Amino acid sequence: MRTETGKPMKTHHKTDTADKTKFETQIEQPQFERHRRSWATLKWFEGTPKTEEEFYLRFQNLPDEDATFLKSFYNISEDWDLFKMICKFWNIRVSSEMKKAECRI
C-alpha cells in the first residue's frame, strides 16, 4: 500500500525469536547488570518517609558494599555527595544544615 506521495507505508516491526534472543544476550552483559544493581540499590530507599532526616537515617544503614558500588557507578567520591544524589533521585530537598550536623557526628 502506498501513501498519497507515492511512498510505501511503513509497517510495524514484528519481533521474531531471533530478535528476542539477541536482546536477551545484551541483557546478560556486565553493563546491564551494573545498571540493574544500581536500580536495585536505589530502590532500597523505597518506602522511606520522604524527609531528609529519614533518608539520612536510612542512608546510614546502607551496606558499605552498596555505598561503594553506587559511588563507583556514579563517579562520586564523598558520602555526602552520594547522599545528595540519592535524595535528588527521590526528589528529596537537602538542606545545608544536614551537612553541618553530619560534620559534628
Per-residue pLDDT of the chain (105 residues; tens, 9 = 90+): 555 566 555 544 454 555 555 555 554 557 888 889 999 999 999 999 999 999 999 999 999 999 999 999 999 999 999 999 999 999 999 987 666 555 444
Burial of residue 10, with CB atoms counted within 10 A of its CB: 0-12 exposed, 13-18 middle, 19 or more buried: exposed
User: Has residue 68 been placed in a domain?
Assistant: yes
Domain membership flag for residue 16 = no
User: What pLDDT is attached to residue 20?
Assistant: 52
Residue 43 lies in a domain: no
Domain count for the chain, please give it: 1
Can you give the pTM of this predicted structure?
A: 0.65
What per-residue confidence (pLDDT) applies to 34? 86
Domain annotation covers residue 29: no
Note down the domain range covering 73: 54-105
pLDDT on residue 19:
54
**24, part of any domain:** no
* Cα–Cα distance for residue pair 32/21, rounded to 1 Å: 16
> Residue 93 domain-assigned?
yes
* Contacts (Cβ under 8 Å, ≥6 apart) of 41: 62, 66, 69, 70
